[in-house]
Amino acid sequence: MHTDNNPKRKYLDSTYKKYPYEIKNNLNFPEKEKFDIKRKEYRNDRIKILAGGPLQTMVTGTFGFVLLLIYHKKLFSFNKTSFTGWLLIFCSLFWLRQSANSFGWTLDYILTGEKSMRGDELRLARFLDLNIWTIHGITGIIGLIVLFIVLRLLPKNQILTFLSAGLTGGCLGYYLWLIKFGQYILP
């Protein structure tokens, strides 16, 4: 999602063009009070927008995971998983978005030596004045913990099928959403 047409952003950009030196050096200028208010409002808006995607994903994952933990004895038999069990596993593994993003960002950093700021978690950390590794690192580890607990709950004869289907589905979902169709659905 892009917010380039945001009126607050346009105001901030135009004011910055008029007073770049004053803004960079925190000096007074004719519109400073209004500029500071709009900048704070814009920052708060951006934090809400950036947090929305990851929070929705983590809430869905947490909801599924908690229900899976509560009802796992009813959902799994010796060699079979119920439809509801698979549905809760699917919801639980929304947490894997965090792990996949963290892994992808870290791999990109290792390969290129550059810190990309494309992820919501990275930009959110910057807006909150946190180290950029903080949010995606912590939530990525939580995602892996959820995965390993789910694997322990699954009947042993379904783990290999689950892992291969999950890897295939994850890669296909990444391609279909982030490369092929997502840009047209949510520009």
93-121 pLDDT, tens digit per residue, is 999 989 988 888 888 889 988 877 777 88
Q: Please give the pLDDT value at position 2.
A: 55
For residue 86, which of 19, 169, 142 has the smallest C-alpha distance?
Answer: 169
With bands split at pLDDT 50, 70 and 90, how would you rate the model's confidence at 156? confident
Is-contact 72 42, C-beta < 8 A? Answer: no
- Per the prediction, the chain carries an average pLDDT of 87
pLDDT mean over 147-153 = 92
Q: Return the number of other C-beta atoms located less than 10 Å from residue 50's C-beta.
A: 22
pLDDT > 90 fraction of the chain, expressed in percent and rounded = 28
By CB atoms closer than 10 A (0-12, 13-18, 19+), residue 140 is buried
Please state the pTM of the whole predicted model: 0.77
| 68-76, long-range: CB < 8 A, 24+ apart | 68/92, 68/150, 68/153, 69/149, 72/153, 76/153, 76/154, 76/155
Q: Dihedral, CA atoms, 181, 168, 151, 146, nearest 10 degrees?
A: -30
